[in-house]
Amino acid sequence: MPKEGFRSITVSEDVYDRFNSDYLKSKSDLAIRGVRSLSGYISYMLEERMREDEALSLHAPMMKKISVDDGRIVLLDNTINRIAEVVVRDGELHCQLCEEDGCLHVGFAYALPEVSTILSAHSTGEQT
Ligand SMILES: [Zn+2]
């Protein structure tokens, strides 16, 4: 049983081993930051992740990703209640709703991890 104020969770051996080896690798760095155990390390990682998600949703609370397929990102802009389509044009993102490259939709699209994959695929695939 975990001690007072703690709960236990069960993870697969794969997950455990991965975290454990990462933890052991950076044990001394983590100790400086006050992380002194594997469970402390996992709590720290989760905390960081949650903070990142919160930062992202604070940054763009009214924007939602609908779909990303090759060269085309569809977003829902709740502030204007419109669908915005952002397309890759000459390796750059362009918003078809606003007819520009510097709007909020383009900014949001750049922040999506899938989009950097698309952009790098386009920049290597379209060289002439
Ligand atoms: Zn736009």
67-112: pLDDT as tens digits: 998 889 999 998 898 999 999 988 899 999 999 999 999 999 999 9
pLDDT for 125 equals: 54
Using alpha carbons only, how large is the chain's radius of gyration in Å? 21
Distance 75 CA to ligand 1 centre (A): 9
Distance 81 CA to ligand 1 centre (A): 12
- Give Cα 56 to chain centroid, integer Å: 8
The owner of tokens 């609908």 is 66
* Cα 121 from Cα 70, distance rounded (Å): 9
The reported pLDDT for the residue numbered 40 is 93
Residue whose pair of structure tokens reads 């455990």 in the numeric block: 16
Mean pLDDT of the chain: 87
Main-chain dihedrals φ then ψ at residue 120, nearest 5 degrees:
-70, -30
Ligand 1 centroid to residue 65 C-alpha, Å: 13
